[in-house]
Structure 1
């Protein structure tokens, strides 16, 4: 099968759209660029659909590469026939391909290979022909120095037959079917680890059994983690008698002296070859499916987090709270630059709350602070209560900000490069403040896995996780757009067509030459060629540019069309911007060209109505219940305000203002059936929850979403 039909088969997308998308990908075009600025070519495919094309294109290429490797190996063995070559080339997936190759990649140390060297393959063929009633006599003809008696001869022949059975694709597929439909996943605790404190979080799986096909992804990953940490043993089981019967039904043709030997060979093939291999394959597939589900959850959460509500360019005082070591305080200007830092000690053991209040008040006045960001870690609630006691001269909004990953950033090379003269505590506080201003711009500096929004992210395929998360970050950055004159290197790195090296060149050029005044000026950046400009220019914004289109998502290649629209109306481009009535009066059909159609023209009009609009909601102040200070203050039936801080397949976790987050199980999100948690809540959503159950010893809180 060729590439385009392969992708169409797996995606169900139109062939023309797939063909054109593959062409664009082969021309080094990025997914954000293709989905936004090549809609006529793709037939208006969105980012997800184009991402699927990328996935299956890579899958096809990996399959073809493996086919080439196998064909070369068979040629070297001098066993490649026309029929075998055709089978290999027509294989539609790796499992089928490896089944075809299996008979030709034998180890020289197998029992069957030893039997062949002992000259027993003809005897195996006689047994499989099932026509002899005197197989003992036949076996006596194959005795030698290495085969001492008839029993040894028959045993060797059975090893060869077992290998033949193992290599039969129809039999392998039948066992696969049995495993996929009926496999039971069972676990047993390792006796010596039963009382281990670390094992207790897995105690639900000390003696567990359920259908593998029905095991939810989060449970399978938890069970496999418990096994990897040495607390339990995991087994896959099926009905062995039924599986053997299915094998015998395919190979037994008669009932004579050969029958018992074929049955013994079938048992050996199943127990020694088929089941170990195919049960591992089935568990691996189940793990891959669970990985995919977990990665999807992580990706959804990350997207919601990155597109979280920004406060915007405000003068912010940020606090990284603490008890013994004090609270690190930083003052940032509207651009996020550090202007001042120091430490206050309002909590135990120093308890200098008066001094802290005085200091915060004076800093707020001196730096004209407009908002305060408090990290949500240790001493967060106490610090928030302290701040709310202060009578500021001017209105100041107070926000509690997630610290997730801040410590990773503060110790990173990026942070050291940004603040070489400050320690990790100052960098962490700066990150908290900047997250309030613009979560996306700050969070791209942190390894997405460290942000902690997902389930079992360290247990899944790390390469697939990284690819997925990088795709999410790239999508978010390009959907929002980037101010080229203020963006950091990490943020610019995710802009379509730019990458880390060009991002460094852009910042270096900006530092030497000053702010960019037009998109055209971007071309002066060293090593930023025409392709990179084509891919990235429309995602880079220039504020207060001479050409207002430079601060919009209109691609420079379409400036001429916008200018023609304005000229035809007797207006300037500036007159069009924001003038919805005027824009809606334009007959778009008059501006269609060979390369630009109605899809693009409608996008241009939509963008001109509100150019460079940040589609993210503005950050809102949130207040927890001030009477709830710890888990012991909770009681069943209480209604409390909370913020969703993590989403999984089995429910969501909610911050209710104490150390422990509560869980809303998926069954408690609605009175009706819930298929997808994300359809009912989103990350950082402010909600009201009802306390259902509090388990203080295990520090577990069960909640329900209050309708």
Structure 2
């Protein structure tokens, strides 16, 4: 346990007591949302990100220990495990050093050194490495036998063994690593056959490129590696070979005789054949891992902002998936997102049934008492928005343009088929657009986060790490907002702390069979939902219109008695305290502190009682693009336009200005001062004003500047 705590402490710099208590809670099967919200006293008020770091380094430590056990077992079986080697392995704190220690004992494929050993040349290699012999060729002549026909073959075999010894030296490997870390350059050259390839032109910036590996931005490295994987370019890592060789020679060569000459040849061979290929690849993988981490971080931030996007709330919505030839798919949803009607209208070419379409939309808005219209932002979106705005509605109906990203993935998914078995993908897609307006979080959790399209190079980064990161974001967003257990889908419920897919399925099945839950206690009746799952999830599940008002709050059931005591001490009921700031301010929190309940928890309770079940998200706002801008050809330098941020990267952000192509605000155009974090200046789906700097119509690229 102490080794684990020290390992996590070194990597996180968090207090040891906080790490210890958090690890204990994790070992008790507590979830990150539960620990960060309801166990603040034990963790020292760590947030979900800090707890997530503890989880990450706990897993790293456990993987390291598992590898140590496997290596020790392998060495023991080979009969080469000394007490000194065992101690080195057991005290190693990183995987690279561990693998270096194991390298000389790996049972590798047939190598030149192994062949030389079988030919009896290891003694000759040892004589040369001793650097005491002078007439090396005479000594080597004794080994000319069997498969060795000449002195040169004997010396070459001995050098292969020496090369392997040099390659296995930890000090040599670390020295090359340091040089790669500080001085490595990555360079690229185009594959000649791809120079005029149209598909390769998107990578033409990297047809010939050179840059420091330690300074290359993550997006550029990932772009290069993608270009290489697609066969467009060849990339390589280089350092100063002469300097590297000199440093190895300084460590190994102690004489100036014939042995030194042989060792010098072996060093060059070891460097070019073994060390540089292996360690430059390792350096590239380390750089790739850092680039992955940066890209995944951007993706995670974007996803969080998207999931916590502004909901319209429980309003009746008419949703439109726009199109030209195939028409516009229209659905009407009730306030809970249930499908009530679907239809196809044809207001655009080639049919141009504008009058008929207007009449249909007007009658539907009246029949279903529609309060808002959601229009997908894909093909024919601008034309459909303009068409809708020409209709004179009897009531005030808000019109929103909604991102379609991932809607087609949802509409063809198993989840969509289960929800709407009798409708085709076009109807399901329209429903998804409408529900995204009502509650983006509840709808987007049904889609694989990687398909939502709010990151860059998501297919190029480590998929396991990406999935972990995105699941972490989704889980934290869902639990931060809270879930209405009586209306939530299986997908949404599965992300609630302690629930998971199987229990989510059981909750929905129980709800369908017995009706709505009337209290949090009733949740315990769900099959296979035990005490642990209830403890972890209850605080994040909401019961609307329950007899106990705390059931629709983030106050955990384990603290209900505490709230009752507070109300009793004020001679009030719990209901009297809800939303009553004046009474809540009278409570002396210190009076209720115990060994397990401290001020952080008590302050959370008071905040929740002031505004129980408050949605942390802002409400959706209507946004209108410049109606005169319909294509990239309508853009002119110097124009000021309204836009919506639709993607954020490390090098800037992309902005939807109401046309097919998104414009880029490069990081240098976000502010007049240096920008270290794009998210400090803009957020996903933020409504902003931009200035057009440059329009490249052939390449369909738009350069923008944030207008303050």
TM-score, normalized by the shorter chain, greater than 0.5 = yes
Q: Which residue of 1 aligns with 2:395?
A: 394
SS at match of 2:258: coil
Greater shift, 309-318 or 137-146, is seen at: 137-146
Counterpart check, 1:227 vs 2:228: yes
Q: Which residue of 2 aligns with 1:495?
A: 496
Deviation at 1:126? Answer: 1.3
Query: Given that residues 689 and 706 in structure 2 are in contact (C-alpha distance below 8 angstroms), is that contact kept between their aligned partners in structure 1?
Result: yes
In 2, the alpha carbon distance for the partners of 1:78 and 1:106 equals 13
Deviation at 1:107? Answer: 2.4
Q: Which residue of 1 aligns with 2:169?
A: 168
Q: Which residue of 1 aligns with 2:246?
A: 245
Greater shift, 544-553 or 574-583, is seen at: 574-583
- Residues 153-203 of structure 1 show CA distances to partners (whole Å, capped at 9, x for unaligned) of 111111111011000001000111111111111111111111111101001
Counterpart check, 1:27 vs 2:28: yes
In 2, the alpha carbon distance for the partners of 1:459 and 1:321 equals 32
- Residues 568-594 of structure 1 show CA distances to partners (whole Å, capped at 9, x for unaligned) of 000000111111121111111111122
Q: Which residue of 1 aligns with 2:152?
A: 151
In 2, the alpha carbon distance for the partners of 1:49 and 1:108 equals 43
- Residues 528-566 of structure 1 show CA distances to partners (whole Å, capped at 9, x for unaligned) of 000000000000000000000000000000001000000
- Residues 643-682 of structure 1 show CA distances to partners (whole Å, capped at 9, x for unaligned) of 0000000000000000100000000000000001000000
Deviation at 1:150? Answer: 1.8
Q: Which residue of 2 aligns with 1:123?
A: 124
In 1, the alpha carbon distance for the partners of 2:456 and 2:74 equals 41
In 2, the alpha carbon distance for the partners of 1:372 and 1:145 equals 87
Deviation at 1:127? Answer: 1.0
Q: Which residue of 1 aligns with 2:377?
A: 376
- Residues 424-465 of structure 1 show CA distances to partners (whole Å, capped at 9, x for unaligned) of 000000000000000000000000000000110011111111
Q: Which residue of 2 aligns with 1:475?
A: 476
Q: Which residue of 1 aligns with 2:136?
A: 135
SS at match of 2:146: coil
In 1, the alpha carbon distance for the partners of 2:94 and 2:676 equals 30
In 2, the alpha carbon distance for the partners of 1:107 and 1:574 equals 72
- Residues 459-479 of structure 1 show CA distances to partners (whole Å, capped at 9, x for unaligned) of 111111111000000000000
Pairwise mapping of residues 260-271 of structure 1 onto structure 2 (< 5 A)? 260-271=261-272
Counterpart check, 1:186 vs 2:187: yes
Deviation at 1:133? Answer: 1.6
Deviation at 1:108? Answer: 5.3
Q: Which residue of 2 aligns with 1:403?
A: 404
Q: Which residue of 2 aligns with 1:359?
A: 360
In 2, the alpha carbon distance for the partners of 1:147 and 1:434 equals 78
In 2, the alpha carbon distance for the partners of 1:138 and 1:255 equals 18
Counterpart check, 1:668 vs 2:666: no
Q: Which residue of 2 aligns with 1:514?
A: 515
Deviation at 1:148? Answer: 2.1
- Residues 302-355 of structure 1 show CA distances to partners (whole Å, capped at 9, x for unaligned) of 000000000000000000000000000000000000000000000000001111
Q: Which residue of 1 aligns with 2:317?
A: 316
Q: Which residue of 2 aligns with 1:635?
A: 636
Deviation at 1:609? Answer: 0.6
In 2, the alpha carbon distance for the partners of 1:611 and 1:636 equals 50
Query: Given that residues 306 and 684 in structure 2 are in contact (C-alpha distance below 8 angstroms), is that contact kept between their aligned partners in structure 1?
Result: yes
Q: Which residue of 1 aligns with 2:79?
A: 78
Q: Which residue of 2 aligns with 1:67?
A: 68
SS at match of 1:398: strand
Greater shift, 479-488 or 194-203, is seen at: 194-203
Deviation at 1:411? Answer: 0.2
- Residues 92-125 of structure 1 show CA distances to partners (whole Å, capped at 9, x for unaligned) of 1110000000000142511111111222111111
Q: Which residue of 2 aligns with 1:5?
A: 6
In 2, the alpha carbon distance for the partners of 1:307 and 1:379 equals 27
In 1, the alpha carbon distance for the partners of 2:176 and 2:489 equals 55
SS at match of 1:214: coil
SS at match of 2:492: helix
Q: Which residue of 2 aligns with 1:297?
A: 298
SS at match of 2:447: coil
Pairwise mapping of residues 213-612 of structure 1 onto structure 2 (< 5 A)? 213-612=214-613
Query: Given that residues 119 and 146 in structure 2 are in contact (C-alpha distance below 8 angstroms), is that contact kept between their aligned partners in structure 1?
Result: no
Which consecutive segments of 4 or more residues in structure 1 shift more than 3 A? none
SS at match of 2:503: helix
Deviation at 1:147? Answer: 2.0
In 2, the alpha carbon distance for the partners of 1:97 and 1:581 equals 62
Greater shift, 529-538 or 586-595, is seen at: 586-595
In 1, the alpha carbon distance for the partners of 2:119 and 2:336 equals 81
In 2, the alpha carbon distance for the partners of 1:257 and 1:485 equals 85
Greater shift, 314-323 or 139-148, is seen at: 139-148
SS at match of 2:654: strand
In 1, the alpha carbon distance for the partners of 2:26 and 2:358 equals 58
Alignment CA distance shift 1:531-1:119 (3 Å): same
In 1, the alpha carbon distance for the partners of 2:697 and 2:108 equals 57
In 1, the alpha carbon distance for the partners of 2:613 and 2:444 equals 21
- Residues 358-399 of structure 1 show CA distances to partners (whole Å, capped at 9, x for unaligned) of 110110000000000000000000000011011100000000
Give the length in aligned residue pairs: 707
Deviation at 1:18? Answer: 0.3
Greater shift, 112-121 or 225-234, is seen at: 112-121
Pairwise mapping of residues 675-694 of structure 1 onto structure 2 (< 5 A)? 675-694=676-695
In structure 1, stretches of 5+ residues that fail to align are none
TM superposition score normalised by structure 2: 0.99
Deviation at 1:216? Answer: 0.6
SS at match of 2:675: coil
Deviation at 1:696? Answer: 0.4
In 2, the alpha carbon distance for the partners of 1:275 and 1:66 equals 25
In 1, the alpha carbon distance for the partners of 2:55 and 2:688 equals 37
Deviation at 1:143? Answer: 2.3
Deviation at 1:141? Answer: 2.3
Counterpart check, 1:99 vs 2:100: yes
TM superposition score normalised by structure 1: 0.99
Deviation at 1:142? Answer: 2.2
In 1, the alpha carbon distance for the partners of 2:113 and 2:442 equals 62
Deviation at 1:254? Answer: 1.2
In 2, the alpha carbon distance for the partners of 1:470 and 1:519 equals 26
SS at match of 1:594: coil
In structure 2, stretches of 5+ residues that fail to align are none
Deviation at 1:300? Answer: 0.2
In 2, the alpha carbon distance for the partners of 1:193 and 1:654 equals 32
In 2, the alpha carbon distance for the partners of 1:636 and 1:145 equals 80
In 1, the alpha carbon distance for the partners of 2:198 and 2:144 equals 60
